[in-house]
Amino acid sequence: MANIDAWHEIVKTRDPQALSNLIANQAVFHSPLVHTPQTGKALTTAYLTAALHVLLNDSFRYVREVHDGEHSVLEFVVELDGIAVNGVDMIQWDRDGKIVDFKVMIRPYKAIEVVRTRMAAMLEKLK
């Protein structure tokens, strides 16, 4: 699956151009921190860019992946500020292998608070 390989390469390199190339114009991002979907390539790219900076440290790793046609579910773990974060990325791909829907779920509640604070700061920097 070239699309999931491209995603893993982006996670590894944090390449903003590769990320932009992988996101469809009509993409929608569902954040665990914002109650409304973020619609469009620009917002999806901004949220994913911020997430790459906030979540990717030496402890980040995907621990499970399930792929079924145009859907991928990737479970991840990471430690932030001494808190074990467990999350899931749910990705839907279009026929061209681009991301059209990206949903993130995070647990436990303490982890959500840490991620929320860091994401808000990173999104402010990206403006």
Q: Looking at the domain that runs over 2-126, which CATH code has it been given? A: 3.10.450.50
* Neighbour count for residue 116 (Cβ, 10 Å): 16
pLDDT, tens digit (0-9, with 9 covering 90-100), for 23-61? 999 999 999 888 899 999 999 999 999 999 889 999 999
Q: Which two tokens stand for residue 116?
A: 């929320």
State pTM to two decimals. Answer: 0.92
Find out whether 9 and 86 touch, Cβ atoms under 8 Å.
no
Nearest Cα to Cα of residue 116 among 74, 87, 76: 87
Q: What is the pLDDT of residue 127?
A: 67
Residue ranges of domains in the chain: 2-126
Report the share of the chain in percent with pLDDT over 70: 99
